[in-house]
Amino acid sequence: MSAQIDQLVGPSRLLMESLLRASLEGGAALLLVLLICRWALWLPGRAKCWLWRLAYLKLLIALFWATPLQLPVLHAPTETARLAASRSAGSALPDAESLPAEDASAKADPTQIAHLENRATRLLAQNLSRADASVLVVGNIWLIGVFAMFLKLAAQWFAVRRLLLRTSPPSDELLDREMRNIWSRRGLHGMPRLRTGTRITSPVLVGIWSPSILLPQEVLNLPTHQLRVILAHEIAHALRRDIAWRIVASLIESLFFFHPIVWLARRESNVVQEMAADDLAMALTHASPREYGCTLLSIAARGTPTRLSLAAPIITSQRTLERRLIAMRNPIHWSNRRLMLVAGAFVFVGALSLPRWKLVAQEARLPADAPAAQEQRSETVRQTQSPAAQTTGVVSAPQRLNFVGVLRAGKKVQIQARADGFIQVINVKDGDVVKPGQALVALDDTTEKLHVVAAQAEYKMKQTEAARRQEIHDQHAVSNAEMEQSRLDADIAATKLQLAQQELSLMHMAAPIGGVIEFDRAHAVGEYVARGTTLATIFDQGDARLELDLPETARQQVRVGMTVEVTTEAYPGERFTGRLAFISAEASPQTGTVRAAADIANPRKRPLAGLRARVTIVLPAGGEDAKTEK
């Protein structure tokens, strides 16, 4: 009967333990991401979306991954502790000889054994009726709730199918052209289908493998720029695969229907997805936040929001629309470098937090290995100290070869004038320590600034003209050729503006590296310099480069990677060390030497460039001489 009880209660108990573990660990992750999304306003929408995806993945891993990964970082138990534990365990179990005679006789009585078995069966039945019965009831309630949630998802899926059947492709070619124009900017295939219908209350994206954009019939009467924004928003949902992630969130919500944080996370993740789609849509259409927000408000005023968990509507609720409009006031634009750093941080945090870890003790070394290891070490010492080893000519101490060399700066960069002009500002002087990016010299840029202002004015004029012609073109009052010409003029004006800005930047020279700057001669404000004129040189104060000539006789003994010690007369008593980095493969026939170089560490940032140095190359013990003698 105990086996039947285990078969009945075991799966339910295991399920309850997994749900409790996932609710605690995954709920903590969801709550942390919820607080980050509420308070970290500097994070862009797509970064917050990936935080939600990691939190949902943590919830699933905690549910299905029961056995944690063991990290052997704790100290191993000593031999004394193991012996004490084994003795205490052995003393707790009495042996057969210490049992009294009455117990031995009782154990040997078959009637007494049957009585004990019946009594144990009754106790198991009582325990089942009290503790295990509650586990079965809770497990059945959870199964009923999950079944009901799955029925709800099935109803949502059938509702989406009904919407698709009640729509048809639009007859207006303008929508299809705008759709292809926006989608072609990403250079992808599989463009979503476009359908319209009278039963659609607001624009919405449905479908995973073959997505479709459903538009209400009255939306077609909106201006062209607003239609472009609507299409771009739904295309952004399709590019980001938001429908697939919403289905995953719905499945997780069905499994954890009893968890209040899961419900809050579902609503917050949908809002974050809408914000990320807004950012991508504005990037696709180059629409301003004011124009984009006016489009959202006009859609919200025309129809009721679509409430489908398996779809991505443009408007979900009035409260979320208010949060999206507030987020548009301060758009967040991150560089690719910062995005890569944040992505790397997400990968690192996910690798640490997603798996389940457990700290365990290290494996103790067997004491039987100690004599063998000690014997092996003793044998090695005896072999190295034997007379046979001494007669082989092995050198017991390292040898040293002395040379003379010259120290050079590890890095040096010449600062040259990038344009013709008169020196306007000199921000540094000879011997100053400069940092990377620090302004050094500026030429007179009055003419270049005027060119930039003129290019900006021309660009704004061409852009305004292109926008005006676009509106007239939408009214079929301007031909396509004239419209394309206005766009081409705007692009040409933008290129001229970039060229003017680049010419302006050439008038300012900054330090590409850090170090000490030295001018080739004294320069004054108002002096004319030509393009390519060398103005100064920056010497890096970090690691130095040692150049030396090795005699032909030392070529066989010296190898790349050997230790090099350097002393100078400028810094008596101070020793610099490094490694031999280069040995030329060709010797000079005139001098009979071989060029070599070494990288020398300079932790105190000493100015070593140009100093003569005494060089010592340390040969390891047992070098080539020892091998030759042997």
Q: Is residue 109 part of a domain?
A: no
Domain boundary among 509, 534, 559: 534
Q: Is residue 608 part of a domain?
A: yes
Q: What is the pLDDT, as a whole number, of residue 350?
A: 65
Domain boundary among 517, 534, 551: 534
Q: Are residues 172 and 292 in the same domain?
A: yes
Q: Give percent of the chain with pLDDT exceeding 90.
A: 4
Q: Are residues 371 and 472 in the same domain?
A: no
Say what the pTM is: 0.49
Average the pLDDT over each of 91-95, 363-367, 455-459, 502-506 and give the range with the smallest value.
Answer: 91-95
Q: Are residues 283 and 382 in the same domain?
A: no
What is the average per-residue pLDDT within 442-463? 90
Nearest of 241, 274, 249, 185 to residue 56 by alpha carbon: 249
For the segment 540-585, what is each residue's pLDDT rounded down to a tens digit? 877 888 998 888 888 778 888 888 999 998 888 888 999 998 898 8
Q: Is residue 425 part of a domain?
A: yes
CATH number at 606 reads 2.40.30.170
3-state secondary structure of 151: helix
The residue range of the domain holding 379 is: 365-394
Q: Is residue 355 part of a domain?
A: no
Q: Is residue 174 part of a domain?
A: yes
Q: Are residues 512 and 585 in the same domain?
A: no
Dist CA 272 CA 55 (whole Å): 14
Average the pLDDT over each of 212-216, 271-275, 605-609 and give the range with the smallest value.
Answer: 605-609
3-state secondary structure of 401: strand
Q: Is residue 97 part of a domain?
A: no
94 versus 168: the higher-pLDDT residue is 168
Calculate the average pLDDT of the chain.
Answer: 77
CATH number at 231 reads 3.30.2010.10
Strands 421-426 and 528-529: antiparallel
Strands 357-361 and 69-74: parallel
Q: What is the pLDDT, as a whole number, of residue 619?
A: 83
Q: Are residues 188 and 303 in the same domain?
A: yes
Q: Are residues 277 and 299 in the same domain?
A: yes
Q: What is the pLDDT, as a whole number, of residue 165?
A: 86
pLDDT > 70? residue 384? no
What is the average per-residue pLDDT within 206-231? 85
Structure tokens at 471: 């509106």
Q: Are residues 472 and 579 in the same domain?
A: no
Q: Are residues 326 and 182 in the same domain?
A: yes
Q: Do 255 and 63 meet the contact criterion of CB atoms below 8 Å apart?
A: yes
Q: Is residue 94 part of a domain?
A: no
Cβ atoms < 10 Å from Cβ of 22: 22
Contact residues for 277 (Cβ-Cβ < 8 A; gap 6+): 45, 233, 236, 237, 240, 242, 312
- Three-state secondary structure along 439-459? EEEEECCHHHHHHHHHHHHHH
Contact residues for 402 (Cβ-Cβ < 8 A; gap 6+): 614, 615, 616
For the segment 103-139, what is each residue's pLDDT rounded down to a tens digit? 444 444 556 566 566 665 565 555 555 556 777 788 8
Q: What is the pLDDT, as a whole number, of residue 389?
A: 40
Q: What is the pLDDT, as a whole number, of residue 352?
A: 67
Q: Are residues 271 and 325 in the same domain?
A: yes
Dist CA 258 CA 251 (whole Å): 13
Q: Are residues 376 and 451 in the same domain?
A: no
The DSSP call for residue 553 is G
Torsion angles phi and psi, residue 208, rounded to 5: -105, -60
Domain tally, the chain: 4
Cβ atoms < 10 Å from Cβ of 507: 21
- Angle, helices 173-184 vs 224-239, to 10°: value is 50
Domain boundary among 474, 505, 534: 534
Q: Is residue 63 part of a domain?
A: no
The one-letter code for the residue type at 219 is V
Q: Are residues 570 and 623 in the same domain?
A: yes
3-state secondary structure of 264: helix
Q: Are residues 213 and 270 in the same domain?
A: yes
- How many residues are there in the chain? 630
Dist CA 285 CA 533 (whole Å): 45
